[in-house]
Structure 1
Amino acid sequence: MNEYLSVLRGLMPHSYLQKGDQASIIGGAINYVKELEQKLHFLGGHKHVNNQKFEAGSSSSLPFDELFTFPQYTTSSDSSIMVSSENHELAMADIEVTMVETHARLKIRSKRRPKQLLKVVSGLQSLRLTILHLNVNTVDQIVLYSLSLKVEDDCKLTSVDEIATAVNQMLGRIQQEAVLL
């Protein structure tokens, strides 16, 4: 078992290895495989977008749809109305959070806005969520942020729903600020 864990540790970037214990190595490996899976899906989706031209007004899905399995917040692709899949609040973006112990994977798909990434990074830090890895993909005016986060000991958010709600509220503030400019 120790030999396999050693090999696994050697295959992963250091940002996925916070501790050397077995649970952390396995948790980091799960997050790393999910990241690789996401990149694979993105490359397949990017190839699909390059091979097809979408007609304006067609009922095609949004970019990166295949990357969202069970989002806590979703936007309607049929209209400008956005609703939460959990508690029917206004959704600012498609938001999906998964967790393994103290590590969280956050996916955000939204319209691109000026200084949005800077404000998201700053907001996550203020929530005591440390960014271990950040990936940004764009197609036209749609942006996908994929983040690996460490939930710090003094973080008040303890569940995927709490993190998703906090991120949705943060994106709401960012959108309001963009409108005021």
Structure 2
Amino acid sequence: MSHIAVERNRRRQMNEHLKVLRSLTPCFYIKRGDQASVIGGVIEFIKELQQVLQALESKKQRKSLSPNPSPSTPRPLPLPAKPNHSPIGFETVGDVGACCNSSLADVEARIAGSNVVLKIVCGRIPGQILKIIAVLEKFSFEVLHVNISSMEDTVLYSFIIKIGLECQLSLEELAVEVQQSFFSEPVFLNEI
């Protein structure tokens, strides 16, 4: 087989594989049709799927360690007594990020250029995204992009947010404020 035929076959296979990758990846991950954009979008999608998988494994492990309540008995939500004393685990991730975890949700805030990437892994809670957006707007953040990925009863919210001029929150405070939204009353569309 000549070198030209081998190269033509390689390009054909590469294009077929890129078509498959593009078809398996949600369209909002791929900004343009060029090969680099397709591969970059697939990488981002895989990273988010890995985060959802880790969250599901963590949730499964927590469920196996805790006694199961009866299905007819609703579990009460752990409400914080004071803002400074809540059932939340907080962790600073270097100087560019912060994590805030609880039994209801894992929240991570990171600096990405001039914006903040906010990722929340939690169970499906009706109206929760509205509460998160209300918290962001309350503290002068502008939502630039939202991505919602779900698997069974677990949801990954990924926000790209712009920091407003009036915003005075640190990443740690942002993570805590978003985490606190999981302990507040539900928000419904007719209340907005």
TM-score by length of 2: 0.50
Q: Is the Cα contact below 8 Å between 1:104 and 1:149 reproduced in 2?
A: yes
Unmatched 5+ residue regions in structure 1? 1-11, 14-32, 46-61, 67-73
Q: 1:40 aligns with which of 39, 43, 46?
A: 46
Question: Are 1:97 and 2:109 an aligned pair?
Answer: yes
Larger radius of gyration: 2
Question: Are 1:119 and 2:131 an aligned pair?
Answer: yes
- Matches for 1:1-181 after TM superposition, within 5 Å: 37-42=43-48, 63-65=52-54, 77-79=61-63, 83-86=88-91, 91=102, 92-100=104-112, 102-157=114-169, 159-174=170-185, 177=186
1:55-106 deviation line (CA, Å, top 9, x unaligned): xxxxxxx83428xxxxxxx97942469741439x872311111014541000
Query: Residue 24 of structure 2 aligns with which residue?
Result: none
CA distance in 1, matches of 2:168, 2:42: 29
Amino acid across the alignment from 1:39: F
Q: Is the Cα contact below 8 Å between 1:75 and 1:84 reproduced in 2?
A: no
**SS of residue paired to 1:113:** coil
Measure how far apart 1:120 and its partner are: 1.6
TM-score by length of 1: 0.53
Q: Is the Cα contact below 8 Å between 1:102 and 1:152 reproduced in 2?
A: no
Amino acid across the alignment from 1:86: E
Amino acid across the alignment from 1:164: A
Q: Is the Cα contact below 8 Å between 1:129 and 1:152 reproduced in 2?
A: yes
Amino acid across the alignment from 1:121: I
CA distance in 2, matches of 1:86, 1:76: 22
Q: Is the Cα contact below 8 Å between 2:135 and 2:177 reproduced in 1?
A: no
CA distance in 2, matches of 1:139, 1:117: 16
**SS of residue paired to 1:107:** strand
Q: Is the Cα contact below 8 Å between 1:106 and 1:147 reproduced in 2?
A: yes
Q: How many residues align?
A: 119
| Distance change in 2, residues 1:161/1:113 (3 Å) | same
Unmatched 5+ residue regions in structure 2? 1-29, 32-39, 67-77, 79-86, 93-99, 188-192
Measure how far apart 1:36 and its partner are: 6.1
Q: How much identity, in percent, do the aligned residues show?
A: 25
